[in-house]
Amino acid sequence: MRFISLLILALTTILLSSCKTPKITADAKENLIDFCESMSFTNQPLNNITTDYYTIDTLFITNNCLNLWVSYSGGCGDADFKLYYTNWVIESIPPKTSILLQLIDNDPCRAIVQQKLFFNLSFFDEYSNKEGIVLNLAVRDRSLLFKN
């Protein structure tokens, strides 16, 4: 019985490793961007916006969409995330700006919740098509370059 299980596992591994990754078409890319949530504009300083505590586990950009994988304490209710941006850009090479991910979580539970968030970065397209723009995540001391 043990031999059969190992044989099935080996065959499954061989079959899965031989599969090819599908290419993403232009239409599929547009759908991915549509899947991303819009950012929220603010003209107040980002450090004036309060947020509940969270950690950023993973941060990357795919097809003009900021992908954030976050962890926070909760589990009993809904959490609301918003990504704020301003029109303040530091003119440097490359230019820099700050964004803030806000968590509103009125949840007294203490389970660790992990969530994937996706935000459309189209506001910064003007910069991404040139030398790019550095997006600094306010309060979290993380940054990344957005460039097409």
Residue 87: which residues within 8 A CB-CB, separation 6 or more?
A: 41, 43
Half-sphere exposure of 8 (CA within 13 A, CB side): 5
Token pair in block for residue 144 = 């990344």
Thinking of the domain 24-146, which architecture would CATH place it in?
A: Sandwich (2.60)
Give helix then strand counts, H and E, for the chain.
Answer: 3, 8
pLDDT at residue 34, rounded to an integer: 63
**Amino acid letter, residue 105:** D
Q: Tell me what pLDDT residue 70 has.
A: 94
The pLDDT value recorded for residue 127 is 87
How far the first Cα of the chain sits from its last, in Å, is 53
Q: Where are the domains of the chain?
A: 24-146
Q: What is the pLDDT along the chain (148 residues), one digit of tens a residue?
A: 444 543 444 444 443 343 333 343 444 444 445 679 999 999 999 989 999 999 999 999 998 999 999 999 988 888 899 999 998 999 998 999 999 999 998 888 889 999 999 999 999 998 888 889 999 998 778 899 999 8
| pLDDT value for 14 | 43
